[in-house]
Structure 1
């Protein structure tokens, strides 16, 4: 990641400025679907969104992209290891409306346990080139939810992502850092 991008991300998180985060996203290069293949460690970018820090409280590890038709949008990790979560049926409206409650430590602990019950080995998203904010770029579309995660390249191993959820008032911004091939992570999933 370039020093300029690192400094801008730090400033964005200090000010929690969504518009600055989207301006950085708009300046970055599009990414092709083939460049997305692999295992990616995720982290939220604090912009004042209801999702800020929430996924991490639940043990979100990141994403895994095997190929264009086999994407795993929600990889979590607990003391037993990494596992893919099936997002179908997750109450996204409830999550958005009740994020403050879900940030509670006790609630997060229970939610982490419930998420393991939703684990799957099947892919639950696909990768496609989709136009977002005027640029065609690599995008992950969830199979069962009205969510598209759009990606732009900070460098070959770092992506800035924007989660576009139908009905949300603002997008959730996050980073992905490549950690290895999808095959390496698939072998370690439990």
Structure 2
């Protein structure tokens, strides 16, 4: 791949079509499991997906991967507090059916205050290598939701993720940047 990773990250962050996001994703190298460990700050890649803007509206911070291939898929922030949300308690089907409703400022504001009630201290996903779009790469498989997050490397500290949610035809894209202590 000859493109500058910083330029690609900026392009993605500014919003692209699903077609363009897939083209970039397909051009990137796979991520080995050993490179996933650590805490990652997430940001959405706007593509017109039904879930665009949802994570940000609720204060999504990112994800955390552990050396034993377990993972916390949903870390949210409220002020200085961070909490790990249990995905099985998130009404995802409601978000897919009524995306405008759940993104409304008033509802998102209430949701941000309620999210700590959905928190957990146990990892809620596992990492495995899965063949996605013809390339075996690190994939986070949620324990209790029909979701697989597939990863490709933009650079040593930046990943492009493609969330594959059963029943939704296009992937939801996001960027992860390694959080340094």
Please, what TM-score do these two structures have when normalized by structure 1? 0.89
In structure 2, the residue matched to 1:31 is 31
- Residues 1:64 and 2:54 are matched in the alignment: no
In structure 1, the residue matched to 2:17 is 17
> Does the residue aligned with 1:67 lie in a helix, a strand or coil?
coil
Query: 1:97 offset after TM fit, Å?
Result: 1.1
Query: 1:169 offset after TM fit, Å?
Result: 2.1
1:118–1:52 distance in 2 versus 1, CA, 3 Å: same
In structure 2, the residue matched to 1:117 is 117
Query: 1:15 offset after TM fit, Å?
Result: 6.0
Task: Write the deviation string for residues 64-123 of structure 1: whole angstroms up to 9, x where unpaired.
Answer: 001244200000000251110000132211111111111111000111112110011100
Q: Gaps spanning 5+ residues in structure 2: where?
A: none
Please, what TM-score do these two structures have when normalized by structure 2? 0.93
Instruction: Name segments (4+ residues, structure 1) moved above 6 Å.
Output: none
Alpha-carbon distance in structure 2 between the residues aligned to 1:179 and 1:55: 18
Q: Between Structure 1 and Structure 2, how many residues are aligned?
A: 180
In structure 1, the residue matched to 2:178 is 178
In structure 2, the residue matched to 1:99 is 99
In structure 2, the residue matched to 1:161 is 161
Q: Gaps spanning 5+ residues in structure 1: where?
A: 185-190
Alpha-carbon distance in structure 1 between the residues aligned to 2:166 and 2:149: 12
Query: 1:150 offset after TM fit, Å?
Result: 0.2
